[in-house]
């Protein structure tokens, strides 16, 4: 039998890679991991964690404005961007240290450098050659920028976390969840925000009621959302500002342009061809339901596979790989009914099928929907609405989808995710006693369908 340096070698120390390495090592396997950047990957270093910290900061603006309604006299506050960024950086450094400690405690051998596969079992890590019986690729993705003149003048979400100061004016290009999240952050911290999207409505792929509700609420906060708007070029002006010329001839002047126009897998120069690993046209690694690539002993998880780009999904995919290889419990991750959140202002929570997806799948559906002002906003008289929605199969009565826009939506949706995963019916929801007074109780008190389709 051929002797390998490792039973498993992991490329990438993000959330999926670290979890896979740790848990494999705890089964007694010899595990190595390579990372050429910081430990923690997109989520911890330049994604969901720092983004949510900035989102919390942006919400303070609303909290201060609401205080008077509850009898508080609060002096006019001032915001300091460098302080926020320094505190954020300290927290990210702390979390990175935890990731490093977890690997060390698990007995994983860490290789600092870029790994490249030389053949199906051999890798080069910055000049060091290692061999592995199994390989797990967990290298994530990166932001993509449109190929237009002056694109280098813009930034992506990666750079947004390290701006030296808060821009006075920001143009955000894109209509996905990253775009709307940063629109809320910059707006809440005091910047003038314009969001450009080339299609007719933001958040493609989300439920239509979610898209419409968020668009309305973002507009109330002063965020200018311009659809059918696509930049043609960027030009630096003498005063340091950036002139954005649109394809329709329109012109915007701003201080910062942020591109949130999609992400691509980090598969360049990994040696995939040398190892015989097949990829999709967009560069993503092709995998089966077990996260196995075209080479039986090589697996890939997380954003590099372009399935569901969520940190908990990458972690669960990695856990399934470990079970398959090292615990004699081969299994595939179940990608159905994965709950998700968007930390927009106000936030979104969703699980299951959208209304259109359910109808397109052949379901006859009943739609239960409500819209209201959360109790927290009554005394401050803030004009912000929440929207809650159930998509129900008319025949089986199964709840196919749950969607919410509004205060605490991500926290509420975790419980809804359990219900949908468990196969709860509308009658299960009806039989559940609500917690009063909360927004969440609306999910178990909606009785009359707002619409029927299919």
Task: Determine, yes or no, domain membership for 353.
Answer: yes
Domain boundary among 231, 261, 291: 261
Spatial neighbors of 98 by CB under 8 A, at least 6 apart, are none
Task: Determine, yes or no, domain membership for 335.
Answer: no
Task: Specify whether 299 is located in the same domain as 433.
Answer: no
Task: Give the C-alpha separation, 117 to 108, whole Å.
Answer: 20
CATH (domain of 316): 3.50.50.60
Which secondary structure element, helix H or strand E, spans residue 340, and what is its range? strand 340-342
Both tokens assigned to 198: 């080339």
Task: Determine, yes or no, domain membership for 72.
Answer: yes
Spatial neighbors of 192 by CB under 8 A, at least 6 apart, are 168, 169, 170, 222
List per-residue pLDDT tens for the chain, 454 residues long.
469 999 999 999 999 999 999 999 999 999 999 999 999 999 999 999 999 999 999 999 999 999 999 999 998 889 999 999 999 999 999 999 999 999 999 999 999 999 999 999 999 999 999 999 999 999 999 999 999 999 999 999 999 999 999 999 999 999 999 999 999 999 999 999 999 999 999 999 999 999 999 999 999 999 999 999 999 999 999 999 999 999 999 999 999 999 999 999 999 999 999 999 999 999 999 999 999 999 999 999 999 999 999 999 999 999 999 999 999 999 999 999 999 999 999 999 999 999 999 999 999 999 999 999 999 999 999 999 999 999 999 999 999 999 999 999 999 999 999 999 999 999 999 999 999 999 999 999 999 999 999 8
Tell me which DSSP letter residue 244 carries.
E
Give the domain range for residue 35: 6-142+264-326
Task: Specify whether 136 is located in the same domain as 275.
Answer: yes
| Nearest by Cα to 353 from 227, 206, 221, 226 | 206
Task: Specify whether 43 is located in the same domain as 94.
Answer: yes
Q: Residue 245: its pLDDT value, please?
A: 98
Task: Determine, yes or no, domain membership for 240.
Answer: yes
Task: Determine, yes or no, domain membership for 361.
Answer: yes
Task: Specify whether 33 is located in the same domain as 70.
Answer: yes
Q: Which residue in the list 111, 228, 345, 436 is annotated as catalytic? A: 436
- 48-67 helix and 177-188 helix, angle to the nearest 10 degrees: 40
Task: Determine, yes or no, domain membership for 313.
Answer: yes
Q: Residue 77: its pLDDT value, please?
A: 86
Task: Determine, yes or no, domain membership for 186.
Answer: yes
Whether residue 403 lies in the annotated active site: no
What are the φ and ψ backbone dihedral angles of 152, each rounded to 5 degrees? -65, -15
Say if pTM beats, i.e. exceeds, 0.95: yes
Q: Residue 32: its pLDDT value, please?
A: 98
Chain mean position to CA 214: 17
Number of domains in the chain: 3
CATH (domain of 420): 3.30.390.30
Task: Determine, yes or no, domain membership for 331.
Answer: no
């Amino acid at each position: 039998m051929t002797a390998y340096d490792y039973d498993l070698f992991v490329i990438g120390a993000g959330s999926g890679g670290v979890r896979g390495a740790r848990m494999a090592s705890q089964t007694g396997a010899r595990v190595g991991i390579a990372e050429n950047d910081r430990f923690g990957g997109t989520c911890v270093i330049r994604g969901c964690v720092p983004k949510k910290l900035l989102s919390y900061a942006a919400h303070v603006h609303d909290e201060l404005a609401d205080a008077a309604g509850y009898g508080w006299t609060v002096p006019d506050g001032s915001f300091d961007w460098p302080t926020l960024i320094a505190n954020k950086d300290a927290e990210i450094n702390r979390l990175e240290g935890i990731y490093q400690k977890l690997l060390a405690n698990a007995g994983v051998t860490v290789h600092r450098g870029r790994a490249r596969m030389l053949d199906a079992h051999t890798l080069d890590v910055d000049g060091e050659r290692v061999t592995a019986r199994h390989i797990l690729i967990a290298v994530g993705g990166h932001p993509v920028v449109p190929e237009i003149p002056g694109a280098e003048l813009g930034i992506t979400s990666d750079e947004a976390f390290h701006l030296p100061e808060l821009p006075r004016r920001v143009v955000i290009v894109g209509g996905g969840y990253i775009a709307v999240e940063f629109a809320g952050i910059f707006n809440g911290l005091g910047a003038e925000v314009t969001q450009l999207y080339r299609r007719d409505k933001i958040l493609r792929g989300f439920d239509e009621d979610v898209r419409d509700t968020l668009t309305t609420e973002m507009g109330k906060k002063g965020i200018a959302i311009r659809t059918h708007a696509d930049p043609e070029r960027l030009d630096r002006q003498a005063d340091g500002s950036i002139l954005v010329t649109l394809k329709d001839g329109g012109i915007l002047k701003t201080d910062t342009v942020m591109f949130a126009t999609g992400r691509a897998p980090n598969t360049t120069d990994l040696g995939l061809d040398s190892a015989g690993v097949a990829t999709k046209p967009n560069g993503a690694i092709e995998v089966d339901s077990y996260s196995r690539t075209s080479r039986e002993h090589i697996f890939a998880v997380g954003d590099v596979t372009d399935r569901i780009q969520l940190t908990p999904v990458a972690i669960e995919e990695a856990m399934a790989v470990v079970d398959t290889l090292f615990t004699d419990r081969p299994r595939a991750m179940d990608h159905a009914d994965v709950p998700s959140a968007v930390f927009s202002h106000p936030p979104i929570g969703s699980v299951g099928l959208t209304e259109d997806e359910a109808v397109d799948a052949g379901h006859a559906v009943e739609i239960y929907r409500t819209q209201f002002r959360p109790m927290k906003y009554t005394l401050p008289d803030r004009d912000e609405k929440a929207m809650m929605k159930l998509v129900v199969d008319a025949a089986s009565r199964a709840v196919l989808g749950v969607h919410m826009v509004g205060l605490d939506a991500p926290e509420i949706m975790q419980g809804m995710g359990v219900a949908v995963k468990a196969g709860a019916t509308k009658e299960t929801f009806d039989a559940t006693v609500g917690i009063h007074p909360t927004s969440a109780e609306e999910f178990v008190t909606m009785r009359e369908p707002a619409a029927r389709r299919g």
